[in-house]
Structure 1
Amino acid sequence: MCTVVIRVPESADDDVRILAIRDEDPHRPWRPLGQWWPDRPGVTGVLDELAGGAWLAHDDERLAVLLNREGGSTVAVPASRGGLVLGSIAGDPLPDPLLTLGFNLVEADRGGVRITSWDGGVPRLTDLAPGTHMIAHDDVDDPATPRVAAWLADFAAASTDGDRWWEEWVAVLRRTAEIGPEDDRAIIRDNQPHGYPTLTLLVCAAKIGATGVSATMATLDDPGAWNDVSL
């Protein structure tokens, strides 16, 4: 039940900004941002060691990050969703048929941001308008998602100017942690009481623009518990 905050600029000359917060089973092995795929030179990402895919990845021109959602394929052994991220960076079309569980795939380049949502049937495409957006396990900017309803306005009001453009967004993230990780409004989360083995593990900030793509990340000292992070 990850969360992604996105700022799409009014002008294509400005940078897209993304703050991505990852929830995952802390016992599932992974590796931080790095170039882990010898057959994909220039691709940097957060590796899922079990399936070989990525939660988030980028090259010099584009970035993709994947969030889980309910629904999707009913095959006995669904394919890993992490392959969709690597496929996006390579410019590959979605597999047909889709054999994964449901997802929201966020794809960004200097031209803007598109979200592909799938929970069965035909994938739905959403091109984001300029402004600040949030997405988790439902639709983008969905007011029925408690964390979106609680915090979207705060992220929208925060500045993303300067070399350390993410600092005000991280300050909002710090405030969100005051309500506790089990609350439906929480972004720093412990999802175990909701029936999922996942806790918040890391925070990643990325920008995409004319000078390319840059990303930085920090892990939490204890999964599901906020500490001040240095990005």
Structure 2
Amino acid sequence: MCTVIVRVPERADEAVRLIAVRDEDPTRSWEPLGTWWPEAYPDTVGVRDNRAGGAWLAADLAAHRLAVVLNRADLSDRGDDEVTTRGHLALEAAAGRPPAAEPTTRGFNLVEVTPGTVRVVSWDGRQRREQTLAPGIHMVAHDEVDDPATPRIAAWLDRFRDAGPSADARDWFDAWLDVLDASAALAPQDDRAIVRDNRPFGYPTQSLLLCLASVDRDGVDVRYGEFDEPGHWQRAAVGQVTAASTPR
């Protein structure tokens, strides 16, 4: 039940801006932003899942591509022995290889970012769909893009849109962090919350970290910060980030 907020620019020479909040079981081990796949993906940095070896978010710094995968309900009747991990999706997309026509994984929303463009590939176990997002600010969670039936999107999408940021803002993420500050007034168990504790909804996941990213023709800039306490917003995590950028 992760959340992505993304700004698609009006012009191709402007940067795509993105904030991604990761929800995962705190007991499931991961590695922070780093170069964890030097042989298979030598130019890629990402947040590595230690159980499956894949990535939640990955960026190919040389190719100027970034991808992040969000879980989505799977409507198929496939057993666990009939599916593969979603962990390869972000790595493959960052390498320029989108998901197959009939993915072998459970359901997902995959956000693919290239300079000036954002595409979302969705798979529910039965149907694969893709859409290129129009210029503007969008939210993606566990269902449709900008879905008004998703409480956190209904509660906060207009606030993110009103906040900006402008295309050339140096600290572009500050306006969005202000919205996240406001959202933290809600309890993490509130279905409208962005930084979340999903256990009341039957999932062991809590919000653990966030990444901030810019992608343009000059390269990729990714910043990573962890929350000290799962499920609780901590703006200071942004000041303790690990960063990776395409050399300028």
State the TM-score bracket (shorter-chain normalisation): over 0.9
Q: Is the 8 A contact 1:75 1:99 kept in 2?
A: no
SS in 2 for 1:19: strand
CA apart distance, 1:203: 1.2
Answering whether residue 218 of structure 2 is matched by residue 218 of structure 1, we say no
Structure 1: runs of 5+ lacking an equivalent: none
TM-score normalized with structure 2 length: 0.90
- Which residue is equivalent to 1:196? 203
- Which residue is equivalent to 2:72? 69
CA apart distance, 1:72: 5.2
CA distance in 1, matches of 2:102, 2:161: 37
CA apart distance, 1:159: 3.1
Q: What whole-Å deviation, never above 9, does each CA across 1:1-24 have from its counterpart, x for those lacking one? A: 000001001011110000100000
Deviates more, 1:162-171 or 1:148-157: 162-171
CA apart distance, 1:226: 1.7
Q: Is the 8 A contact 1:84 1:94 kept in 2?
A: yes
Match of 1:115 among 120, 129, 151: 120
Q: What whole-Å deviation, never above 9, does each CA across 1:18-62 have from its counterpart, x for those lacking one? A: 010000000000011110102111100000011010000101211
User: In structure 1, what residue type is equivalent to 2:217?
Assistant: A
CA distance in 2, matches of 1:188, 1:93: 29
- Which residue is equivalent to 1:158? 163
TM-score normalized with structure 1 length: 0.96
How do 1:1-231 and structure 2 match up within 5 A? 1-39=1-39, 40-60=41-61, 61-71=64-74, 74-77=78-81, 78-95=83-100, 97-161=102-166, 162-229=169-236, 230-231=238-239
User: In structure 1, what residue type is equivalent to 2:118?
Assistant: V
Structure 2: runs of 5+ lacking an equivalent: 240-248
SS in 1 for 2:91: helix
SS in 1 for 2:80: coil
CA distance in 2, matches of 1:113, 1:93: 13
Q: Is the 8 A contact 2:68 2:112 kept in 1?
A: yes
Aligned length: 231
Q: Is the 8 A contact 2:103 2:123 kept in 1?
A: no
Aligned-residue sequence identity (percent) comes to 52
SS in 2 for 1:70: coil
CA distance in 2, matches of 1:72, 1:215: 33
CA apart distance, 1:171: 1.1
CA distance in 2, matches of 1:84, 1:67: 10
Please provide the CA RMSD for this pair: 1.3
User: In structure 1, what residue type is equivalent to 2:71?
Assistant: N
Deviates more, 1:111-120 or 1:129-138: 111-120
